[in-house]
Structure 1
Amino acid sequence: MRYMATYDLMETLRNTNQWLGATAAAMGSYPATALVPNPFFQMLAAWGDVTERTFHRMTVKPDWGITSVVTKDGRERLVEVEKLVERPFGDLIKFNAVGRAPRERRILLVAPMSGHYATLLRSTVNSLLPDADVYITDWHNARDIPVSEGKFDIEDYTLYLVDFMRHLGPDINVVAVCQPAPLTLAATAYLAELDPEAQPQTLTLIGGPIDPDAAATDVTDFGRRVTMGQLEETAIQRVGFKYDGAGRMVYPGLLQLAGFMSMNAEMHSKAFTDQIMRVSKGEASDHDKHNKFYDEYLAVMDMTAEFYLSTVERLFKDSEVARNEFVVDGHKIDLGAVTDVAVKTVEGAKDDITAPGQCIAALDLLTGLSDDKKASHVEPGAGHYGIFAGKSWRNNIRPMVLEFIDQNTGRHAEQAEKKKAQKTKAKPLTKPAKNKKREPMKEPSLPTRIPV
């Protein structure tokens, strides 16, 4: 399957179905059809409308849709999305509440790179914005990244996180959701060893596979059952000629989506059939429950082949983080080096993707961290999605995470002030030219450089 023709065939099928949907919607909506006393044309238009929107969603990155936030003083403030650090495979962005003074709580959300865009955490960002300055990792679709930009595997992902944490300073509170939890833990340990004044204030790991063997799920069983050769042959393709990343080896978003849908085919089939009926009766809307869910669920992105394969091999098969054997750029990370970062784990009792036990394993690996800096929570009745975006998150987990952050606020205040002073001192007196290319972030003098 590792051919451009295969990738282009999938895109052709998607494009054809989108065109068929648009054509059916146009034909069914033709004014003269209103004279026919038969619901056929209404059903045809409804089917076309739902089909066209469904296949169009698969290639469009959803908008954040966060335009304003109501602050504690009752004022509604506009929200702007600002890119703080721009890199080929992902950016560090901030949600600016215009005119609001900086908040004492500063939170970095580490979004998963597991097939969906960072906008999957839209509701998580929305819930935190009134009480904190919120930053997030915004990963890019691999199909849009030219081959000339090089590779991107879990070591590169970890180093991106290291750079982002350095940029934000030691008073940042990091919240890693799902897949990036083990790599975020590794990035924190990397800083603890090599640049301790840049390590974050707190680290919250939500539903992450720190030790996949701690509790078996269908995901871990698949990782054990399939060989790397089989995975490379069946899951990896080259980006077709339509995109900037032509020729790059990827795990395609469309292939991932096919797997997602097949796991609950009957449920998805019923959801689309019901939506067609609602559209035909005029009961649907652009922002109804169905569209709000599937606008996000169907928007998938390609992952670089090396990131996907190294995740399966090194995190699930070899359990490098769980065995404290993870190596980044030739440097073996020691999780026991973390001694000054408060760490909390959050799990869902009914999580069938990252089962309870997989995430809390992080606390046992942090041998250098005192017990008073460790915390854990298992949310009763919560599934995987609920622990970071659902009712359980809003009512129980979010307040708990904020309280955990408040309990540890000020731990790294001295280092943060020192870093701010250094930045101010190093700031140039004249503004750089607007068309000047932004230089990549530079690391301090560390060992020579030889993220589901």
Structure 2
Amino acid sequence: MDWTRLFWPGLFAAEAGLAFARTMMAGVRPSPPPRPEPVWASANEVALTLSTARLRRFDRPAAGNGGTPILVCAPYALHDARIADLAEGHSLMARLGEAKRPLYLVEWLSAREDQIFRGIDDYLADLVVMVDEIGGCCDFVGLCQGGWLGLVFAARFPEKARKLVIAAAPIDTEAQESPFSALAHATPLETFQELARLGEGLARGAEAQRFWALAARGDAEIHALLQSDLPLDSRAFAARAAMFRAWSGAPLDLPGAYYLETVEKLYKRNELARGEFVALGKRIDLRAMRAPLYLIAAEDDDIAAPEQTFACARLVGTPRQAIRRRIVPGGHLDLFMGRRTLETLWPEVAAWLGAPSPRKRAKISGGKISGGKISGVRP
């Protein structure tokens, strides 16, 4: 199954170009109906509300959890933050809760018409506010598009990120081609610009959903993606599939400025890997970053090929012994929703987050971590 279509409104603008985009976007409504409020699998409370995001706390403060808070940054892409908390047995937040630390999730909100000019810098500034709200320093867990945003945040504000987990994120989009990156590279930038224009300044998720009928997924496909142990024809699994469809069927609108910046900076020019990315007025030099890293990839990821994430190890200044890498079977969404992956991978991540940070060294070796598939954790 091609899951590349799930995450970016631009995926429906391929070789047909601008004429195709104009035809498909002709029915865009300037005022789409309000999105339903998400239903969460795990108990949580809103700790802070911004115009662009909600900061949700998933642990119970009265439980005595202490230490550096964990902040999970969901991707700001087509679908909402329930990618990390879909259903019982399919919740990354529940697994990270085993670390017994204050646990938060960034829930990015669908963009409004008055937010069309918000760009990457604006969302980085929002992250600063949220991290300051939880104490000024966190262990950052970035999922997919939230992974590169977290890496930029940690490099720009090193005192605010103690450890960093990057899962299935496009850090170096030229390190290994994926169907998604190939399409982004091949599609003219003018096509993406036209899509934002036809959406009246927004990259409209509802239209992408309508064009590709993304909500109409077969039960067998959802069963495999969730790695469910429930019988395919059972009522219990039907409830799980309904939760997945509810998530898939409520897409986000993205600001056109943010959408176009992401396409151009990450995919067209690969600025982060080339050392040319500027964030909040400062060029991001990943070699100056020393935070311990846990890099995670899926073998069959159509969005971010494994080496797009693992390339981070050779770009940063983190000591080699402070970098772990893990590749697991399956596709992109399996990393965050798959039952087996959640039961095996993420408790290890929680334990790593809970361990003391290794001491920093004054000099960093310039050695390169080799590529290829990795079957286990490496120090």
Query: Which residue of structure 1 aligns with residue 124 of structure 2?
Result: 158
Matched, 1:400 2:366: no
CA distance in 1, matches of 2:256, 2:359: 39
**Larger mean Cα displacement after TM superposition, 167-176 or 182-191:** 167-176
Cα distance in 1, alignment partners of residues 142 and 172 from structure 2: 15
Cα displacement (A) at 1:132: 3.1
Kept in 2, the 8 Å contact 1:165–1:200? The answer is: no
- The aligned counterpart of 1:252 is 204
Label 1:371 to 1:290 Cα distance change in 2 as closer, same or farther (>3 A).
closer
The correspondence of residues 48-87 of structure 1 with structure 2, limited to 5 A, is 59-67=35-43, 80-84=44-48, 86-87=49-50
TM-superposed CA distance for 1:261, in Å, is 3.5
1:371 alignment counterpart: 320
The alignment covers a number of residue pairs equal to: 323
Separation of aligned partners in 1, 2:210 and 2:27: 15
| Aligned position for 2:72 | 109
**Does 1:126 find its partner at 2:94?**
yes
Paired residues of 1:348 and 1:384 also in contact (CA < 8 A): yes
For the pair 1:361 / 2:327, whether they are aligned, the reply is no
Cα deviation 1:51-96 (Å, max 9, x = unaligned)? xxxxxxx9323222423xxxxxxxxxxxx41323x32212322124
SS in 2 for 1:403: helix
Query: Which residue identity is paired with 1:115?
Result: L
| Counterpart among 262, 267, 288 of residue 316 in structure 1 | 267
Q: Confirm or deny that 1:90 pairs with 2:53.
A: yes
SS in 2 for 1:155: helix
2:96/2:347 contact within 8 Å kept = no
1:9 to 1:327, Cα distance in 2 relative to 1, 3 A = closer
How far apart are 1:5 and its partner, in Å? 7.5
List alignment gaps of at least 5 residues for structure 2.
Answer: 1-21, 86-90, 223-233, 361-379
Equivalent residues of 1:94, 1:136 under 8 A apart = yes
Q: 2:284 aligns with which of 333, 347, 351?
A: 333
CA distances 1:312-331 after superposition (whole Å, capped 9, x unpaired):
11111111111111112332
1:7 aligns with 2:7: no
Provide the residue aligned with 2:169 in structure 1. 208
Matched residue, 1:415? none
Letter in 2 for 1:8: R
Indicate if the aligned counterparts of 1:170 and 1:201 stay in contact, CA closer than 8 A: no
Query: Relative to 1, partners in 2 of residues 1:404 and 1:285: Cα closer, same or farther, differing over 3 Å?
Result: closer
Amino acid at match of 2:336: F
Asked if structure 1 preserves the Cα contact closer than 8 Å seen for 2:322 and 2:358, the reply is: no
After superposition, the Cα gap between the structure-2 partners of 1:152 and 1:298, relative to the gap in structure 1 and judged at 3 Å, is same
Q: Distance in 2 between matches of 1:150 and 1:255?
A: 17
Distance 1:383 1:138, change over 3 A: same
TM-score if structure 1 supplies the norm length? Answer: 0.64
CA RMSD in angstroms, aligned pairs only: 3.2
Letter of the 2:130 partner, please give it: F
**Structure-2 separation of matches of 1:362 and 1:378:** 14
Instruction: Report how far residue 227 of structure 1 moved.
Output: 1.0
Which of these residues, 306, 317, 338, is aligned with residue 390 of structure 1?
A: 338
For the residues of structure 2 that align with 1:237 and 1:99, how far apart are their CA atoms? 49
Determine the C-alpha separation between the residues in 2 that align with 1:259 and 1:360. 33
1:261 to 1:269, Cα distance in 2 relative to 1, 3 A: farther
**Structure 2 SS opposite 1:99:** helix
What residue in structure 2 maps to residue 346 of structure 1? Answer: 296
Post-superposition Cα deviations, 1:153-203, rounded to whole Å, max 9, x if no partner, equal 1222223223333333465211000112112111111113xxx3xx21100
Kindly state the Cα deviation for residue 106 of structure 1 after the two structures are TM-superposed.
Answer: 2.5
Is the 8 Å Cα contact of residues 89 and 152 (structure 1) preserved in structure 2?
no
CA 325–100 in structure 1, closer or farther in 2 if over 3 Å, else same: same
Partner amino acid for 1:357? E
CA distance in 1, matches of 2:184, 2:29: 27
CA contact (8 A) 2:116 2:201 kept: no
1:138 maps to 107
2: distance between equivalents of 1:220 and 1:66? 33
1:403–1:158 CA distance, 2 compared to 1 (3 A): same
The change in CA–CA distance for 1:113 and 1:348 in structure 2 (over 3 A counts) is: same
Partner residue of 1:224?
185
Matched-pair contact (CA < 8 Å) for 1:349–1:378: yes
Structure 1 residue 268, shift from structure 2 partner = 4.3
Instruction: Give the stretch that moved more between structures: 200-209 or 178-187.
Output: 178-187
Identity value in percent:
24
CA distance 1:356–1:8, change in 2 (3 Å): same
Under a length normalisation based on structure 2, what TM-score does the superposition of the two structures give? 0.76
Q: Using CA pairs under 8 Å that are at least 6 residues apart, name the structure with larger relative contact order, 1 or 2.
A: 2
Residue 174 of structure 1 aligns to a residue whose secondary structure is strand
2:312 aligns to what SS in structure 1?
helix
Contact 2:295 2:324 in 1 (8 A): yes
